[in-house]
């Protein structure tokens, strides 16, 4: 993360739904010679298991010879975050507002401080934010209300207070980014990002990267964002391609034989984001 800051690139944090998406990310990282994060939230953890995820990532990391780390995304409780730390995840995002949208800033700060302290066990990097982050990792038919989103934007003073009080490594900024894929493009307040970047020394992440015009990523990375989360764009490519190959092959019931095109479609999305994040060729030399 320090090198990302100094060399002006961002690590893509790509959500895993299953083994195929993991393979797609690993292949993209190898093709682009880029360091990447893969991440899972509570739903994926419940489906696959923390230790299984750790082992799968290590296996494909070795097979493809890539620089790949795991982020526990939107961990909804201190206990969940601690489990991720104990499982050896290198990045932990504690977000109790995910489970309780009405959590107070004091409650969020207290939970975040507990995780920051526990993360010393392994050296995991901790990420957080002081309020609920809107949207959902899905594809929506209706557009968002930008004026409503603006009410939840980060401010330099509030960001500095939260970072200084909690001791987090990474701050999840809100500048127009929003979880999910919508009919209209997202708009990021780049000038506000500059002010926040000047206010704090920690890393800054962008959640809700799907459906964001690429020029915003170029600007954000130049200013000093070092982590960008991508999920819905991958899911959209996965489902659309899977539906097509199933329709084109009605007599094939060994679905695993049809997954090659699905992996390719997701890999293409990941590679395009790596380029936008200026991360191609940034993998650490062995």
- For 121-136, the DSSP string reads GTT-EEEE-SS---EE
Cα torsion for 97, 99, 104, 108, to the nearest 10°?
Answer: -60
Q: Which of 73, 95, 189, 233 is catalytic?
A: 73
For residue 77, give the DSSP letter: S
Q: How far apart are CA 1 and CA 129, in angstroms?
A: 18
End-to-end CA distance of the chain: 17
83 a catalytic residue: no
Q: How many CB atoms lie within 10 A of CB 11?
A: 26
Q: How far apart are CA 171 and CA 156, in angstroms?
A: 12
Say if residues 115 and 92 touch (Cβ distance below 8 Å).
Answer: yes
Question: What does the H/E/C string look like for 195-247?
Answer: HHHHHCCCEEEECCCCCCCHHHHHHHHHHCCCEEEECHHHHHHHHHHHHHHHH
For residue 84, give the DSSP letter: H
Q: Which residues are catalytic?
A: 73
């Amino acid at each position: 993360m320090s090198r990302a800051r100094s060399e002006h690139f961002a690590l893509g944090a790509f959500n895993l739904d299953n083994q195929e998406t993991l393979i797609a990310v690993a292949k993209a990282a190898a093709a682009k010679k880029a360091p990447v994060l893969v991440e899972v939230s509570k739903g994926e953890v419940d489906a696959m298991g923390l230790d299984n995820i750790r082992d799968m990532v290590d296996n494909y990391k070795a097979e493809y010879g890539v620089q790949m780390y795991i982020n526990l995304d939107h961990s909804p409780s201190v206990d969940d975050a601690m489990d991720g730390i104990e499982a050896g995840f290198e990045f932990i995002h504690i977000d109790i507002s995910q489970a309780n949208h009405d959590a107070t800033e004091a409650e969020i700060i207290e939970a975040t401080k507990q995780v920051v302290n526990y993360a010393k066990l392994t050296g995991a990097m901790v990420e957080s934010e002081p309020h609920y982050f809107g949207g959902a990792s899905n594809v929506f038919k209706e557009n968002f209300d930008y004026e409503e989103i603006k009410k939840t934007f980060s401010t330099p003073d509030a960001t500095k207070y939260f970072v200084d009080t909690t001791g987090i490594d990474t701050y999840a900024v809100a500048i127009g980014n929003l979880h999910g894929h919508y009919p209209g493009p997202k708009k990021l307040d780049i000038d506000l990002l500059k002010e926040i970047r000047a206010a704090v020394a920690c890393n800054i992440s962008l959640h809700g990267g799907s459906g964001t015009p690429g020029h915003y990523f170029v600007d954000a990375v130049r200013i000093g964002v070092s982590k960008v989360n991508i999920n819905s764009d991958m899911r959209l490519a996965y489902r659309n391609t899977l539906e097509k190959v199933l329709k084109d092959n009605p007599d094939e019931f060994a679905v695993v034989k049809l997954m090659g095109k699905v992996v390719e479609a997701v890999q293409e999305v990941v590679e395009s984001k790596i380029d936008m994040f200026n991360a191609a060729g940034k993998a650490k030399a062995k």
